[in-house]
Structure 1
Amino acid sequence: MSPVMRSLLRYVPAPAWAFSPVRAWAKEMIRRSADASPESRAKLISGQAAEILARQFDALMAAAEGCDAVVACGLFPSCAAARLVAEQRGIRCILATFCPIWLPSALNRPFEYPGHPLPAGVTDNRALWDHDIRTKNALFGGAINSHRASLGLHLLDNVRDYVYGDPVLLACDPTLGPWLPSDLIDAVQTGAWILPDERPLPDGLEAFLEAGSPPVYVGFGSIAVAREAGRAAIEAVRARGRRTVIAHGWAELGPIDDRDDCFAVGDVNQQALFRRVAAVMHHGGAGTTAAAARAGAPQVVMPQIGDQPYWARRVAEVGIGAAHDGPTPTAESLSAALGTALAPETGIRAGEVASRVRADGAAVAAKRLLDLMSQP
């Protein structure tokens, strides 16, 4: 971590109950929306947004005491809570996002929410981003304006632009997720926010790595994929004659039998591990994509939701891996994708790209924030 970034950080602990954990929220969303209609899912999102905003506002209001600025990342209602806190405290707030697709641009379409499909036949992205304002008003406007009213603040007719603010920090690497200037929003691309991880690998994992050829890492992170996906991944790796390091993740994946070619890990130093694997098979989270690219590890991306399809496409376009076709994997489909990732030319290209992935994104963001704070 650079000295300039360290000087900006102030950790203020808040009681755990004050926050609405994303993991619990996501599991509840999956449980309640499994058989729901798009309209019912939209109502569920709005209801959950109100709860997240209210709980995080209280926690962040206490945490922000004595601070000069708030940097907000994450779910839209969480960022709305941070913006409200900054408004109440009279301090600066700047939003950061980890993928270009979340930002208004004539070059890309907005995300499509349940119950609010993009208008059929409309190809003008500017018109679609206008529609996105109405969508976010419908999903989140009630929660935000209700909370504003309770604080004696005026109501908003455009909650999206209020939450986004001006400018926005785009915390992703320009080689992996390039951003072209847009007249729809002022975005500053800083590069990915990477903090050095000095943790040693667990003894058992170190021994496993030393015992044979480089394995394939399999981890689906915060996506609660079915256990069948873990089984398919291990079988695909075995079909390619490789061993597996599998991360438990939210789905609590693990070995599928008692063979000694699979090692399960929890939270681990990816920066150290990814430099020693043959490939990284994952769900396409922004952080995992950047970590694997920076380590020079070829990738297989099995996207499910959100920005994951974007990162899968970019991995394939840049030539550092393969995008799995479709959300439901089989051993055969993952083996085919893994074959592309393990090809010699993919490894060479991954090494070339690794040398171009920036590691100074956090310092760039910190300097930008300091510059903003120095302005009247």
Structure 2
Amino acid sequence: MHAILATVGTDGDVFPHLGLGAVLRTRGHRVTVAAPEPYRARAEALGLAFASLVTTAEVGQMLAHPDLFHPLRSGRMMARWGAPMIPRQYELLVRLACEPESVLVTNPGVLAGRLVQEKVRCPTASLLLQPGLIPSSISPPQMVGGLTIPSWFPYPLRSLYWLALDAAGYWLVARSLNSVRATLGLAPVRRVFRWWWSTDLVIGLFPDWFAEPQPDWPPQLRLAGFGRFDGTRNELPEDVRTFCEAGSPPIAFTLGTGMTHAKGFFRAAVAACEKLGGRGLLLTKYPEQLPARLPPTVRHCGFAPFRALLPLCGAVVHHGGVGTTAAALESGCSQLVLPLAWDQPDNAARITRLGVGVALGARQRTAGHMASALARLMTQKVRTRCHEVAVQARGDNGFEVAAGWIEELARNKS
């Protein structure tokens, strides 16, 4: 089998495809990762072939845009950024998919992948990382910008909400998508957020205790559980380990690998540590975002595998990305979530319901707010609950389960 794993985005979007690719390779399959160019070295280090879906310059443009994590403008920004790439991404993926015994596994946001499935009938699975993308009227996800369906809203009318969301999707991206479809002899699409799921298989890379399946979910959706891959072989830099073990467990602070506008967040993080009399670890690839001088109780780390780091931490303050969320759940680390956009409010709500963390609103991001929330989290009651959930989270590796389903898809479609 030749598995083609296609995705765009940052570490949280790409690492699951790399982790799944590594598992598929150990099971004897040929794997090509189609992803942004900056991930070439990581893929090749795992023995995976690589094809570039997004150039390094285009990634830089995306990360530098101030609307990337805006609760309302982020969708429009990403649509304008990504729509012009659809034709060339289709050409790349269809060339790979026409090779013998190929199976395509795509992030739903890679619209070119669904075009390939329709045009050349390549067996295709959508890899869904977060439940917040599922348009359920029975159990609606928490949406950005206060746009969540309220609990009192009559159920028969909830379908109108999703129609409105699809109308927005049509305005944002379907017109560009349909111009490409016309050149391929395919009929136009109107409800993009229903169409973008593979009709063969949708693999949810999260467990049912994190998001209970609902009767109105896509019938082809199966839940594999969380995958475990942090971009490396889980080796923690020795200087980071030494710092973590040199005193009380530090608090880890991150807004994700794609955040390039976090100066205020890191200033507040340092001040929150000082208010608590605690230690902190600031995680960012962009050190220019940090205060000019850090106190001796706070240090910077450019990158650390979370499943190695978070068991050594007293808590983690983060944006609510599902990768950070899963790693913290498995590590038994309490979570303070500051959701910004995308699926992050939904993940934050699930963390809160599990009793392993709390979330702060957009106007609750000061050092005082963070220190107060962290003080509530770092109690024996919360630590006990985190350890209980960690036992659940350390179950089957979702990548192994997903790999078996992909092999099954390939056999059934051959």
Q: Following superposition of structure 1 onto structure 2, how do residues 70-89 of structure 1 map, counting pairs within 5 Å? A: 70-73=104-107, 76=109, 78=110, 80-89=111-120
Corresponding residue number in structure 2 for 1:332: 368
Contact 1:237–1:335 under 8 Å retained in 2: yes
Q: Deviating runs (4+, > 6 A) in structure 1?
A: 40-43, 110-114, 116-119
Q: Classify 1:212/1:18 alpha carbon distance in 2 versus 1 (closer, same or farther; 3 Å).
A: closer
Q: Classify 1:45/1:362 alpha carbon distance in 2 versus 1 (closer, same or farther; 3 Å).
A: closer
Q: Classify 1:57/1:322 alpha carbon distance in 2 versus 1 (closer, same or farther; 3 Å).
A: same
Contact 2:97–2:122 under 8 Å retained in 1: no
The CA deviation at 1:57 is 2.3
Q: For 1:85 and 1:324, how far apart are their aligned partners in 2?
A: 41
1:13 is paired with a residue of what secondary structure? strand
Q: Classify 1:13/1:232 alpha carbon distance in 2 versus 1 (closer, same or farther; 3 Å).
A: same
2:126 is paired with a residue of what secondary structure? strand
Contact 1:13–1:63 under 8 Å retained in 2: no
Corresponding residue number in structure 1 for 2:182: 149
Corresponding residue number in structure 1 for 2:226: 192
Q: Classify 1:321/1:154 alpha carbon distance in 2 versus 1 (closer, same or farther; 3 Å).
A: closer
Q: Following superposition of structure 1 onto structure 2, how do residues 82-161 of structure 1 map, counting pairs within 5 Å? A: 82-109=113-140, 124-161=157-194
Corresponding residue number in structure 2 for 1:341: 377
1:219 aligns with 2:254: yes
Gaps of 5+ in 2: 1-21, 33-48
1:264 aligns with 2:285: no
* Letter of the structure 2 residue corresponding to residue 69 of structure 1: V
Q: 1:61 aligns with which of 56, 74, 94?
A: 94
1:194 is paired with a residue of what secondary structure? coil
Q: Classify 1:324/1:138 alpha carbon distance in 2 versus 1 (closer, same or farther; 3 Å).
A: same
The CA deviation at 1:282 is 0.6
Q: For 1:301 and 1:183, how far apart are their aligned partners in 2?
A: 26
Q: For 1:325 and 1:23, how far apart are their aligned partners in 2?
A: 28
The alignment yields a C-alpha RMSD, in angstroms, of 3.3
Corresponding residue number in structure 1 for 2:334: 298
The CA deviation at 1:204 is 1.8
Number of matched pairs: 367
2:249 is paired with a residue of what secondary structure? coil
1:10 is paired with a residue of what secondary structure? strand
Larger CA deviation: 133-142 vs 231-240: 133-142
1:372 aligns with 2:405: no
Q: Deviations over 1:122-147 (max 9, x none)?
A: 76322322333333222221111111
Q: Classify 1:19/1:70 alpha carbon distance in 2 versus 1 (closer, same or farther; 3 Å).
A: farther
Q: For 2:117 and 2:229, how far apart are their aligned partners in 1?
A: 26
* Letter of the structure 2 residue corresponding to residue 203 of structure 1: E
Q: Deviations over 1:334-373 (max 9, x none)?
A: 0111112211111111011000013421111122222222
Q: Classify 1:45/1:91 alpha carbon distance in 2 versus 1 (closer, same or farther; 3 Å).
A: same
Contact 2:139–2:214 under 8 Å retained in 1: no
The CA deviation at 1:303 is 0.7
Q: 1:288 aligns with which of 302, 308, 324?
A: 324
The CA deviation at 1:187 is 1.7
Q: For 1:310 and 1:320, how far apart are their aligned partners in 2?
A: 15
Corresponding residue number in structure 1 for 2:15: none
2:235 is paired with a residue of what secondary structure? coil
Q: Classify 1:202/1:183 alpha carbon distance in 2 versus 1 (closer, same or farther; 3 Å).
A: closer
Q: For 1:198 and 1:117, how far apart are their aligned partners in 2?
A: 38
Q: Following superposition of structure 1 onto structure 2, how do residues 162-177 of structure 1 map, counting pairs within 5 Å? A: 162-166=195-199, 167-177=201-211
Q: Classify 1:316/1:29 alpha carbon distance in 2 versus 1 (closer, same or farther; 3 Å).
A: same
**Which is bigger in relative contact order (C-alpha 8 A, separation at least 6)?**
2
Q: Deviations over 1:19-47 (max 9, x none)?
A: 7855632533628x98xxx8x98765543
Q: Classify 1:23/1:363 alpha carbon distance in 2 versus 1 (closer, same or farther; 3 Å).
A: farther
Corresponding residue number in structure 2 for 1:309: 345
Q: For 1:61 and 1:20, how far apart are their aligned partners in 2?
A: 24
Contact 1:19–1:56 under 8 Å retained in 2: no
* Letter of the structure 2 residue corresponding to residue 106 of structure 1: S
Q: Classify 1:46/1:313 alpha carbon distance in 2 versus 1 (closer, same or farther; 3 Å).
A: closer
* Letter of the structure 2 residue corresponding to residue 335 of structure 1: A
Corresponding residue number in structure 1 for 2:391: 355
Aligned identity (percent) is: 25
Larger CA deviation: 1-10 vs 132-141: 1-10
Larger CA deviation: 278-287 vs 208-217: 208-217
2:228 is paired with a residue of what secondary structure? coil
* Letter of the structure 1 residue corresponding to residue 163 of structure 2: D
Q: For 1:13 and 1:117, how far apart are their aligned partners in 2?
A: 38
1:373 is paired with a residue of what secondary structure? helix
2:317 is paired with a residue of what secondary structure? strand
Q: Following superposition of structure 1 onto structure 2, how do residues 38-53 of structure 1 map, counting pairs within 5 Å? A: 46-53=79-86
TM-score normalised by the chain length of structure 2? 0.78
Q: Classify 1:113/1:331 alpha carbon distance in 2 versus 1 (closer, same or farther; 3 Å).
A: closer
* Letter of the structure 1 residue corresponding to residue 170 of structure 2: N
Larger CA deviation: 363-372 vs 244-253: 244-253
Q: For 2:75 and 2:408, how far apart are their aligned partners in 1?
A: 39
Q: For 1:309 and 1:112, how far apart are their aligned partners in 2?
A: 6
1:329 is paired with a residue of what secondary structure? coil
Contact 2:337–2:358 under 8 Å retained in 1: yes
TM-score normalised by the chain length of structure 1? 0.85
Q: 2:216 aligns with which of 172, 182, 194?
A: 182
Contact 1:20–1:52 under 8 Å retained in 2: no
